[in-house]
Amino acid sequence: MNEKDIIIGYTTGVFDLFHVGHLNLLRKAKALCDRLIVGVTTDELVAYKNKRAVIPFHERMEIVHSIDYVDTVVPQEDMDKMKAWDKLKFDIMFVGDDWHATEKWEGYETEFKQKGVKIVYLPYTKTTSSTLINEVLLKLRDNTL
């Protein structure tokens, strides 16, 4: 296989409190590309959601890097996916289907189409999320569960 024949995929996430939803996303993404690059959101950028990661950035990077489906891990220091493309030149951008048909991602679809990049919306695992895990942990700490 020539270097130019390799399909490079890219996805991003906080990957805090790593769970099966994260694993599902990475597994499905890797099945659709030859090389999967994963951007892990820095602690500073997590603040865009007005949240804080429980697991420190360097540990989240190490966890994601250890997953067999992941070929390369990079810090996500900016929410601008076009800046990431300028740097990484991926062919496919993977994102959870909870973003499908949103104004933000419709804009990215238009921009990426001009670059020949396909956006693939992967099914969101509805049974678990870091937000749900955090809510359960808070209830357990408060003895309200």
Side-chain-side CA neighbours of residue 29 (13 Å): 34
- 16, 44 in Cβ contact below 8 A? no
- 82, 109 in Cβ contact below 8 A? no
Our answer to whether residue 118 is catalytic in this structure is: no
CA 136/CA 19 separation, integer angstroms? 14
* Residue 74 Rama label (left phi>0; alpha psi -120 to 50; beta): beta
Considering the candidates 49, 83, 113, 139, report the single residue annotated as catalytic: 49
**Burial label, 31 (beta-carbon count in 10 A; 0-12, 13-18, 19+):** exposed
Considering the candidates 51, 104, 113, 139, report the single residue annotated as catalytic: 51
Our answer to whether residue 51 is catalytic in this structure is: yes
Catalytically active residues are 49, 51
